[in-house]
Amino acid sequence: MISRVYIFDTTLRDGEQSPGVSLSVEDKKEIARALERLRVDVIEAGFPVASPGDFEGVKAIAETVKDVQVAALARANPKDIDVAWEAIKGAATPRIHTFIATSDIHLQYKLRKSREEVLALAVEAVKYAKRYTPIVEFSAEDATRSDWDYLAEVVVAVTKAGAVTINIPDTVGYTVPQEYYELIRHLVEALKKADLYHLFEEGKVCFSVHCHNDLGLAVANSLSALLAGARQVECTINGIGERAGNAALEEIVMALKTRQDYFARVLGQPLETRIDTRQIVPTSQLVSRLTGMIVQPNKAIVGANAFAHESGIHAHGVIMHRGTYEIMDPKEVGWTGSAIVLGKHSGRHAVRFKLESRGWKLSDEDLSRIFERFRQEIKDVLRAVADEYLEGVLLDEFLGEEYRYVVSAAYVSSLYGAPLNPLAQVQVLDREYGAKKAIQVGVGSVDAAFKAVAQALGYRFLGKEDKEPVSDHDLRLVDFHIDAVGKGTESLGVCGVVIEDYQGQRSAGLGKDYDIVAAGIKALINALNRLEAYRSKGEELKRKLAAKAA
Q: Which residues make up each annotated binding site for Mn(2+)? A: 14, 210, 212, 246
Strands (E), 402-461: 405-413, 423-430, 434-441, 460-461
Judged by CB under 6 A, which stretch of 165-173, 362-370, 380-388, 453-461 contacts ligand KIV?
A: 165-173
Least distance (Å) between residue 155 CB and ligand KIV:
14
The interface partner of residue 141, options being ligand KIV, Zn ion, none and the CB cut-off 5 to 8 Å by kind, is ligand KIV
Measured from the CB atom, the residue of 137 and 396 that comes closer to ligand KIV is 137
CA 444 to CA 422: how far, in whole Å?
6
Residue 141 is a binding residue for ligand KIV (CB under 6 A): yes
State the minimum distance, in angstroms, from the CB of residue 210 to ligand KIV.
5
Identify what 338 binds: ligand KIV, Zn ion, none; CB under 5 to 8 Å per kind. Answer: none
Residue 170 or 388 with smaller CB distance to Zn ion? 170
CB atoms inside a 10 Å sphere around CB 369? 15
Reported residue count of the chain is: 550
The pairing of strands 434-441 and 423-430 is antiparallel
529 binds ligand KIV (CB under 6 A): no
Q: Return the ∠ at Cα 324 (arms to 319 and 329), rounded to 5°.
A: 80
User: Of the listed pieces 35-43, 111-119, 166-174, 405-413, which binds ligand KIV according to CB under 6 A?
Assistant: 166-174
Cα(209)–Cα(205) distance, integer angstroms: 13
Smallest gap from residue 9 Cβ to Zn ion (A): 13
- According to CB under 6 A, which residues from 202 to 231 bind ligand KIV? 210, 212
Residues 6+ apart with CB under 8 A from 470: none
Of 99-118, which residues contact ligand KIV (CB under 6 A)? Answer: 99
| Alpha-helix residue ranges (DSSP H) falling in 280-382 | 280-291, 312-320, 348-357, 364-377
Binding-residue pattern over the window 6 to 35 for Zn ion, x denoting contact by CB under 5 A: --------x---------------------
CB 205 within 8 A of CB 196: yes
Query: How large is the C-alpha radius of gyration of the chain?
Result: 30
Element (H, E) at 539: helix 539-549
Phi, psi of 426, deg, nearest 5 = -130, 155
Query: Which residues contribute to the annotated binding site?
Result: 14, 210, 212, 246
Tell the smallest beta-carbon distance from residue 14 to Zn ion (Å): 4
- Cα 341 to Cα 354: distance, rounded to the nearest angstrom: 9
User: How many residues make contact with ligand KIV (CB under 6 A)?
Assistant: 9
Q: Which of positions 41-80 make contact with ligand KIV (CB under 6 A)?
A: none
> For the window 315-354, what string marks contact with ligand KIV as x by the rule CB under 6 A?
----------------------------------------
Of 11, 18, 144, 171, the one binding ligand KIV by CB under 6 A? 171
Distance of closest approach, residue 208 Cβ to ligand KIV, in angstroms: 9
CA 386 and chain centroid, separation: 20
Which residues does 6 contact at the CB level (< 8 Å), separation at least 6?
A: 41, 42, 206, 208, 231, 232, 233, 273
Closest to ligand KIV by CB, 210 or 530: 210
- 169 near ligand KIV (CB under 6 A): yes
Please report how close the Cβ of residue 449 comes to ligand KIV at its closest, in angstroms. Answer: 53
- Footprint on residues 468-497 left by Zn ion (CB under 5 A): none
SS3 for 334? coil
Rounded to whole angstroms, the Cα distance separating 15 from 17 reads 5
Contact 23, 4 (CB under 8 A): no
Interior angle at CA 210, CA 219 and CA 271, nearest 5: 60
Minimum distance between the CB of residue 167 and ligand KIV, rounded to whole angstroms?
6
Q: How many residues bind Zn ion (CB under 5 A)?
A: 1
Question: Which parts of this chain interact with ligand KIV (CB under 6 A)?
Answer: 14, 99, 139, 141, 167, 169, 171, 210, 212
Question: Which parts of this chain interact with Zn ion (CB under 5 A)?
Answer: 14
